[in-house]
Amino acid sequence: MSREKKEFPQFILDPGNLLGKVNYGDIFGRNGPLHIEIGSGKGTFLVNQARCLPGDNFIGIEWANRYYRFAVDRAGRWNLTNVRIIRADAACFIRDFIPDSSVDFFHIYFPDPWPKRRHNKRRFFSAANVEQLIRCLKTGGQIRVATDFEEYFEQIKTVLSARAGILKQTDFLPADGAQVGEWVGSNFERKYIKENRPIYTIAVRKI
């Protein structure tokens, strides 16, 4: 029997209340390094990383309602005041609400690969979306990606390398909240490790 999920409205970022680009000081009551996780699922990575880095601020974006509610419940039960979670289409939220040169890290772990060819256009990684990530990153800010899907990984590398003039590959280091043998410590990664699937990672920084 699953545990009842609480709402914890203080940890929710409501897109209906946003007017133009967000002010992080208003959201968190302080300024600090900003992490955005695209597709935060049940919030395992987000919560563990926020616990390890209490001086940093974290926004998790999740569209699937049941995962979104799970992530809010998890952040609320840990009382992580440095976390906010929003249910939104990530590409639209970033395009419309994230200010220029304001993000230190974009975390994109095990994005939906949409494996059928006719669905490939739904994948997050496209030239247009990468341009938005670049716009939002501070100089030195990073895009960190992990996936178990090799064909999608090749597409991701191609899209990122097309902007090699502004994005430089850097070491992909294990997340602060990851356990031994993990890269990021998400639910999907732990599942795939048990299944002995290879994990592909890449990190780039804005120069």
Lowest mean pLDDT segment, chosen from 36-45, 114-123, 126-135, 195-204 = 114-123
**pLDDT band, very low/low/confident/very high, at 5 (cuts 50, 70, 90):** confident
pLDDT average, residue stretch 114-141 = 94
Residue 90: pLDDT band with limits 50, 70, 90? very high
Domain spanning 11-22+29-206 has what CATH number? 3.40.50.150
| Token duo for residue 161 | 């390398």
Name the residue type at position 24: Y
104 is catalytic: no
- Residue 125 to residue 152: CA distance in whole angstroms: 9
Q: Are 98 and 73 in contact (CB under 8 A)?
A: no
Residue count of the chain, please give it. 207
Domain boundaries in the chain?
Answer: 11-22+29-206
pLDDT, average across residues 49-77: 97
Per annotation, catalytic residue among 112, 148, 171, 176: 112
Contact 127, 159 (CB under 8 A): yes
pLDDT range class, residue 119, cuts 50, 70, 90: confident
Q: Give the mean pLDDT of 139-143.
A: 98
CB atoms near residue 190 (< 10 Å): 16
Task: Please say whether the beta carbons of 74 and 112 come within 8 A.
Answer: no
Q: What's residue 3's pLDDT?
A: 60
Q: Specify the pTM.
A: 0.95
User: Do 100 and 136 contact (CB within 8 A), yes or no?
Assistant: yes
Phi, psi of 61 (to 5 degrees): -110, 125
Kindly state the average pLDDT of the residues 83-104.
Answer: 97
- Is residue 171 within 8 Å of 205, Cβ to Cβ? no
Q: Where are the alpha helices (DSSP H) in the chain?
A: 24-28, 44-52, 65-77, 90-97, 127-136, 150-161, 187-194
Give the pLDDT mean for 193-201.
Answer: 97
Q: Taking 90 as the threshold, does the pLDDT of residue 114 lie above it? A: no
Burial class (CB in 10 A: 0-12, 13-18, 19+), 15: middle
Q: What pLDDT score does 195 carry?
A: 97
Q: Which residues have a Cβ under 8 Å from the Cβ of 81 and sit 6 or more positions away?
A: 28, 29
